[in-house]
Structure 1
Amino acid sequence: MKTCLVVDDSRVIRKVSRRILEDLGFEVAEASDGVEAMAWCSAVTPDLILLDWEMPTMDGLTFLRRLRAEPAGDQPKVVFCTVVNEIERIREALDAGADEYIMKPFDGSIVAGKLDYLGLIA
């Protein structure tokens, strides 16, 4: 079973994301910020990370840059899932190593389409 780490400071977004991802066949773990996510990723490398941008303690972009600098940090697919929608910021995220970008609000079909595009679901 593929694994996904949902990183978002909103408990509601984590819950909605978990439901969508479990319906798509993922085993899901959660983190509320980048620091928690880094600790999780140092123990287990997930197949996918669904990542918010704006979080306390460590934001999503900082987390992504640190993750990609780690020895196995290039392995997980990272999909930003955020309200940040300026084209310059999207380009910044993709340049930092994000594989895809989803705008909030989102639904199951949007997530499924992105994950299908990334080759993570059949």
Structure 2
Amino acid sequence: MVRRPISGAAPLTTCLVIDDSPVIRKVATRILARAGVAVEEAATGAEGIAKLAATVPAVVLVAGTLSDMTGEDLVRRVRAMPNGAGVTILGMLVEANLGQMTRLKRAGCSGFVYKPFDRASLTACLAPHLPAVAEKAA
């Protein structure tokens, strides 16, 4: 399901949120939609891969740990896709775990977002990657 921006304007960009937690997906979707970003959600890595095969978002937010695969495995699979090289992938982590961060970076992760997040922390992490978020934050 695609959540369109609340503002009613055409979305400037898209984001795919892949996380087992419906609360994390809902909070991220609301924050991004208010910033003018179209958001798609996936509850598992397999669902996220299927959505990526159909569409190319500007940013993918992926949980460090999913029920069906590791975050690193998902990042590698996204990077191996024909359209995956140009996608910004941000890992969502609960803590600054250096080992997990290193594995995600080596797999191709562009950066990190720490959970739980609020509007200020999520927009600060996404502003460099999503023009719509940067414009709303300015």
* Structure 1 residue ranges, 4+ long, deviating more than 4 angstroms after superposition: none
Establish whether residue 36 from structure 1 lines up as the match of residue 83 from structure 2.
no
How far residue 30 of structure 1 moved from its aligned partner, in angstroms, is 0.5
Q: Alpha-carbon deviations, 1:56-78, whole Å to 9, x = none? A: 11232111101101111112111
Find the residue that maps to 2:127 and give its secondary structure.
helix
Q: Alpha-carbon deviations, 1:35-69, whole Å to 9, x = none? A: 00000000101111111011111232111101101
Does the 8 Å CA contact 1:33/1:59 hold for their aligned counterparts? Answer: no
State the Cα RMSD in Å: 1.4
How far residue 119 of structure 1 moved from its aligned partner, in angstroms, is 5.1
Q: Quick check: 7-16 or 56-65, which moved more?
A: 56-65
Unaligned runs of 5+ in 1: none
The two structures have a TM-score, normalised by structure 2, of 0.82
Question: Paired residue for 2:81?
Answer: 70
Question: Paired residue for 2:101?
Answer: 90
The CA distance in 1 between the partners of 2:119 and 2:27, in whole Å, is 9
Select the structure of larger CA radius of gyration. Answer: 2
Question: Paired residue for 1:52?
Answer: 63
Distance 1:84 1:62, change over 3 A: farther
Unaligned runs of 5+ in 2: 1-10
The two structures have a TM-score, normalised by structure 1, of 0.92
Q: Paired residue for 1:3, among 14, 22, 31? A: 14
Number of residue pairs matched by the alignment: 122
